[in-house]
């Protein structure tokens, strides 16, 4: 029978197909198991696996300290072979069986209710334990056995760092310990700590704030981190970005411009005395670490003082930068550390810092034809044996960015990359753009730059987490862990797959299309930033509610705005009740948006509440998201209440006014909640003796969280006056 033959053939083909799929499947862990970072290689083995609760014994084969372990493995007791289910850690000599000879690589074998971790380094044993801990966590959470398997794993990038920046705030000390635990869990092996004035320097005691961390406290943290194979190195900003030092009257004679606290005079010897003292203290706070990051980016406003101007006129501004770089690098090397510096001044000096995606290849050819000889000259003047850090916070494959990396490689310049867990002007929720092409920020940018670095054989990565707008550290979590994922294994997961793994790992929950929620929170945050301003955002310099000089960065010095005291003209006027309806008509677009955000409040709030309720761990993360969401959601309420007042109908107007009062009360409550939840982990105000560090960054405007609500303070005052006049 022909049809029977065909059927048999079909069954046979299906069977072959099944076998080929099965083979593929065979080397993937079941869906319940998600390891971050994704391991390099998984092979399934025959036989029994291992379930949560079965291991009880630890055996250590070789000369080494028991690695720090997570909550589950920590409970194993160390004893010899006693027949019970055992985790064996084996430290072996180099080259004995592991392909990758990095001391961070490891092999984990799970079989017959036992586990074995083999490595040539203690770091590898530690990482093997982190992987096993995650598998056991999933075995417990999903009540399923880890199948027998062999995991061979090693990092793609050698240096994988996260930045901690305390420029405008300070967290409780335990937060830094918990951050180290979290980073170690995801195989991050370095931290760059930007202390600013939050370290109590001994040699320049004026610089450290009275509530700052002591050198001993940071040294203890450094040692704790080292036990988790994380090296903490300090970042001490110098020539520019120096407001935390130069805000003190005592250092006035070191200023390049007498009213500008941004930059030191690079030709004043006093500059070096102060910086070297800070370096020595920072090194003492991080004993045994290899690096010292000197910043050195965005040095604007130099070459202007009577001492520097002749040099700048004769030899160019570049000579002043180079002089500063050389002096500080020489000192750092003499003290046994390797300097790290941001690379923008070097590139800018040669005119090749052109990383916009709008620049075409042919424009770029032109730029580099002119710039490259200058860059060659500059690099020969620059100190060597330091690491140039290429920072870029949008999609990395802009031709201009790629060309810089290629130039570094071709010219033997040691370069690492820096991406950011939170970039763009984010005050509350971070950006996570998927729709801005080459200009996208957030997770896509992190993935893109690290993948590019891996292709270019760059072996170091820093994930920044900037503080000019002082967002809560919880909002860095997803980005930091993404940087850990992609720097260990750049191509294993898509962003969607990463999100699924992130939610499972960090909270023990699942949610489809998580970036969609991020998009909604961002959209609403932008509305909060813009809603009460006549035009633009509260973050636009033209909308600033203070008279401070725009001194930052490369800009030519902008003098203070003057003695302006009334800023009400920057905000929305209030409804003119003599001409009801005109206000609502003028702002009809904004009110339409307010209705939209009013309507989506419940859906977002419910999702956040569900995430909070269902999370098995780290529920504080959702607490932060919930209070921030409630806080920004008070904006549409107030606008719509004002609209209600804008009518001939006296009764309706009265209701409207009552609703305005209620909207302000609601704002006060949400603000109090936000302060209270933030204060569980950070100091929300500075001590009375704190010397303000004021310049044109939002979080430098106040010594507590009220920098976030300067607009509301003024707008509510306007409303109260408006109501009093009725
Ligand atoms: Zn000078």
HSE, side-chain direction, 13 A CA sphere, residue 298: 10
More confident site: 233 or 297: 233
Q: How far apart are CA 496 and CA 512, in angstroms?
A: 9
Q: What is the mean pLDDT of residues 83-100?
A: 81
Which pair of tokens denotes residue 35? 């390891």
Q: What pLDDT shows up at residue 83? A: 74
What DSSP character marks residue 547? Answer: -
Centre of ligand 1 to C-alpha 454, Å, is 41
Centre of ligand 1 to C-alpha 243, Å, is 16
Centre of ligand 1 to C-alpha 301, Å, is 10
Q: What phi and psi, each to the nearest 5 degrees, are found at residue 346? A: -60, -50
Q: What pLDDT shows up at residue 12? A: 56
Residues with CB under 5 A from ligand 1 (ion): 256, 265, 267, 305, 307-308
Q: How far apart are CA 418 and CA 162, in angstroms?
A: 9
Q: What is the mean pLDDT of residues 88-93?
A: 94
Q: What is the mean pLDDT of residues 9-16?
A: 56
Q: How far apart are CA 635 and CA 530, in angstroms?
A: 10
Residues 6+ apart with CB under 8 A from 263: 239, 240, 242, 246, 255, 256, 257, 299, 300, 301, 302
Q: What pLDDT shows up at residue 22? A: 45
pLDDT tens per residue, range 650-684: 999 999 999 999 999 999 999 999 999 999 999 99
Judge if the upstream peptide bond of residue 315 is cis by omega within 30 degrees of 0: no
Centre of ligand 1 to C-alpha 262, Å, is 13
Residue 20 has pLDDT above 80, yes or no: no
More confident site: 19 or 233: 233
Residue 25 has pLDDT above 80, yes or no: no
What DSSP character marks residue 84? Answer: S
Question: Hey, which residues does 108 pair with through a beta bridge?
Answer: 117, 151
Centre of ligand 1 to C-alpha 255, Å, is 7
Centre of ligand 1 to C-alpha 193, Å, is 29
Residue 7 has pLDDT above 70, yes or no: no
Residues 6+ apart with CB under 8 A from 119: 90, 91, 92, 98, 103, 105, 106, 107, 125, 127, 128
Q: What pLDDT shows up at residue 696? A: 77
Residue 2: count other Cβ atoms within 10 Å of its Cβ: 6
Q: How far apart are CA 245 and CA 139, in angstroms?
A: 52
Centre of ligand 1 to C-alpha 552, Å, is 17
Cβ 474 vs Cβ 429: under 8 Å:
no
Centre of ligand 1 to C-alpha 238, Å, is 14
pLDDT tens per residue, range 288-301: 999 999 999 888 88
- What is the residue extent of each domain of the chain? 26-153, 161-356+384-495, 527-725
Torsion of CA 585, 588, 594, 599, to 10 degrees: 100
Q: What phi and psi, each to the nearest 5 degrees, are found at residue 447? A: -60, -45
Give me the long-range contacts of 241-244 (CB less than 8 A, separation at least 24): 241/295, 241/297, 241/298, 241/299, 243/693, 243/695, 243/700, 244/167, 244/196, 244/197, 244/207, 244/693
Centre of ligand 1 to C-alpha 321, Å, is 11
Q: What pLDDT shows up at residue 357? A: 78
Q: How far is C-alpha 702 from the chain's CA centre? A: 23
Residue 647 has pLDDT above 70, yes or no: yes
Residues 6+ apart with CB under 8 A from 8: none
More confident site: 549 or 83: 83
Helix H, strand E, coil C: the string for 292-347 is: EECCCCCCCCCCCCCCCHHHHHHHCHHHHHHHHHHHHHHHHHHCCCEEEEECHHHH
CATH superfamily for domain 26-153? Chitobiase/beta-hexosaminidase domain 2-like (3.30.379.10)
Centre of ligand 1 to C-alpha 254, Å, is 8
Centre of ligand 1 to C-alpha 191, Å, is 33
Centre of ligand 1 to C-alpha 251, Å, is 14
Q: What pLDDT shows up at residue 423? A: 73
Helix (H) or strand (E) holding 483: helix 477-488
Centre of ligand 1 to C-alpha 712, Å, is 41
Alpha helices in 544-681 (DSSP H): 582-586, 588-614, 620-632, 634-645, 650-678
Q: What pLDDT shows up at residue 550? A: 57
Residue 501 has pLDDT above 80, yes or no: yes
Centre of ligand 1 to C-alpha 560, Å, is 21
Q: What is the mean pLDDT of residues 69-97?
A: 86
Q: How far apart are CA 89 and CA 131, in angstroms?
A: 13
Q: How far apart are CA 46 and CA 49, in angstroms?
A: 9
Q: What is the mean pLDDT of residues 540-564?
A: 67
Residue 556 has pLDDT above 80, yes or no: no
Q: Which band of pLDDT confidence, cut at 50, 70 and 90, is reported for residue 154?
A: very high
Cβ 146 vs Cβ 39: under 8 Å:
no
Residues 6+ apart with CB under 8 A from 502: 36, 478, 481, 482, 514
Centre of ligand 1 to C-alpha 298, Å, is 16
Centre of ligand 1 to C-alpha 264, Å, is 7
CA distances from 656 to 106, 638, 648, 670 (A): 66, 10, 12, 21
CATH superfamily for domain 161-356+384-495? Glycosidases (3.20.20.80)
pLDDT tens per residue, range 299-335: 888 899 999 999 999 998 888 988 999 999 999 999 9
Q: Which band of pLDDT confidence, cut at 50, 70 and 90, is reported for residue 259?
A: confident
Which pair of tokens denotes residue 187? 């195989």
Cα Rg, the chain, nearest whole Å: 29
Centre of ligand 1 to C-alpha 450, Å, is 38
Q: What pLDDT shows up at residue 380? A: 86
Helix (H) or strand (E) holding 415: strand 415-420
Centre of ligand 1 to C-alpha 239, Å, is 11
pLDDT tens per residue, range 274-290: 999 999 999 999 999 99
More confident site: 549 or 676: 676
3 burial level (CB within 10 Å; 0-12, 13-18, 19+): exposed
Which pair of tokens denotes residue 517? 């929620």
Q: How far apart are CA 336 and CA 602, in angstroms?
A: 57
Q: What pLDDT shows up at residue 190? A: 98
Q: Which band of pLDDT confidence, cut at 50, 70 and 90, is reported for residue 3?
A: low
Q: Which band of pLDDT confidence, cut at 50, 70 and 90, is reported for residue 24?
A: very low
Q: Cα dihedral sign for 540, 543, 545, 549?
A: positive
Centre of ligand 1 to C-alpha 469, Å, is 30
Helix (H) or strand (E) holding 699: none
Closest CA to 248 of 283, 288, 197, 199: 197
Closest CA to 429 of 395, 386, 479, 379: 479
Centre of ligand 1 to C-alpha 317, Å, is 11
Q: What is the mean pLDDT of residues 19-38?
A: 76
Closest CA to 233 of 335, 336, 163: 163
pLDDT tens per residue, range 48-71: 999 999 999 999 999 999 999 999
Which residue in this structure is represented by tokens 């009375």?
688
Centre of ligand 1 to C-alpha 318, Å, is 13
């Amino acid at each position: 029978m022909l049809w029977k033959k065909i059927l048999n053939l079909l069954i046979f083909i299906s069977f072959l197909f099944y076998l080929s799929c099965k083979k593929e499947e065979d080397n993937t862990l079941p869906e319940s198991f998600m390891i971050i970072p994704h391991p390099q290689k998984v092979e399934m083995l025959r036989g029994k696996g291992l379930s949560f609760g079965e291991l009880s014994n630890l055996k250590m084969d070789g000369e080494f300290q028991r690695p720090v372990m997570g909550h589950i493995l920590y409970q194993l007791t160390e004893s010899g072979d006693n027949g019970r289910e055992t985790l064996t850690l084996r430290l072996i000599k180099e080259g004995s069986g592991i392909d990758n000879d990095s001391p961070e690589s490891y092999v984990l074998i799970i079989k017959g209710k036992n586990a074995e971790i083999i490595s040539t380094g203690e770091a590898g044993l530690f990482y093997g334990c982190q992987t096993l801990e995650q598998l056991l966590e999933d075995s417990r959470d999903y009540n399923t056995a880890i199948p027998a398997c062999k995991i061979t794993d090693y990092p793609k990038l050698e240096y994988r760092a996260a930045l901690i920046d305390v420029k405008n705030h300070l967290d409780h000390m335990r937060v830094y310990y918990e951050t180290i635990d979290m980073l170690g869990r995801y195989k991050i092996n370095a931290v760059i700590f930007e202390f600013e004035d939050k370290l109590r320097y001994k040699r320049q005691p004026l610089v450290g704030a009275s509530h700052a961390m002591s050198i001993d406290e940071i040294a203890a943290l450094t040692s704790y981190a080292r036990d988790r194979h994380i090296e903490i190195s300090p970042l001490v900003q110098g020539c520019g970005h120096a407001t935390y030092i130069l805000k003190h009257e005592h250092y006035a004679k070191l200023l390049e411009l007498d009213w500008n606290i941004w930059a030191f005079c690079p030709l004043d010897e006093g500059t070096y005395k102060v910086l070297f003292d800070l370096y020595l203290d920072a090194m003492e706070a991080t004993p045994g670490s290899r690096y010292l990051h000197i910043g050195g980016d965005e040095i604007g406003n130099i070459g202007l003082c009577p001492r520097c101007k002749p040099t700048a006129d004769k030899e160019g501004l570049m000579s002043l930068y180079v002089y500063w770089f050389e002096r500080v690098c020489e000192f750092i090397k003499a003290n046994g550390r390797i300097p790290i510096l941001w690379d923008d001044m070097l590139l800018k000096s040669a005119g090749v810092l052109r990383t916009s995606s709008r620049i075409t290849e042919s424009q770029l050819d032109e730029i580099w034809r002119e710039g490259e000889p200058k860059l060659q000259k500059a690099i020969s003047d620059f100190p060597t044996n330091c690491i140039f850090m290429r920072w870029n916070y949008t999609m990395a494959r802009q031709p201009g960015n790629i060309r810089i990396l290629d130039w570094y490689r071709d010219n033997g310049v040691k370069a690492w990359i820096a991406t950011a867990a939170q970039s763009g002007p984010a005050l509350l929720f971070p950006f996570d753009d998927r729709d801005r092409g080459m200009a996208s920020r957030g997770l896509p940018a992190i993935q893109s730059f690290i993948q590019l670095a891996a292709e270019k054989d760059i072996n170091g990565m820093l994930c920044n987490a900037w503080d000019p707008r002082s967002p809560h550290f919880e909002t860095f979590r997803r980005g930091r862990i993404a940087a850990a994922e992609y720097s260990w294994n750049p191509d294993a997961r898509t962003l969607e797959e990463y999100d699924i793994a992130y939610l499972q790992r960090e909270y023990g929950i699942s949610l489809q299309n998580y970036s969609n929620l991020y998009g909604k929170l961002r959209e609403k945050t932008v509305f909060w930033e813009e809603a009460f301003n006549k035009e633009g955002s509260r973050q636009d310099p033209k909308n600033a509610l203070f008279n401070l000089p725009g001194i930052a960065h490369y800009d030519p010095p902008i003098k203070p705005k003057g003695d302006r005291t009334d800023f009400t003209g920057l905000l929305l006027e209030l409804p003119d009740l003599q001409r009801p309806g005109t206000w609502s008509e003028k702002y009809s677009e904004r009110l339409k948006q307010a209705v939209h955000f009013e309507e989506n409040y419940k859906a977002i709030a419910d999702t956040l509440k569900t995430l909070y309720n269902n999370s098995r761990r780290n529920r504080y993360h959702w607490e932060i998201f919930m209070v921030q969401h409630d806080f920004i959601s008070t904006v549409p309420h107030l606008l719509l209440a004002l609209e209600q007042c804008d009518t001939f109908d006296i009764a309706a107007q009265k209701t409207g006014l009552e609703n305005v009062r209620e909207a302000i009360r609601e704002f006060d409550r949400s603000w109090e909640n936000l302060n209270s939840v933030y204060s569980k982990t950070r100091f929300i105000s500075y001590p009375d003796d704190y010397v303000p560090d004021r310049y044109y960054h939002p979080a430098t405007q106040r010594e507590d969280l009220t920098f976030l609500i300067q607009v509301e303070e003024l707008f509510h005052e306007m409303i109260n006056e408006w109501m009093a006049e009725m």
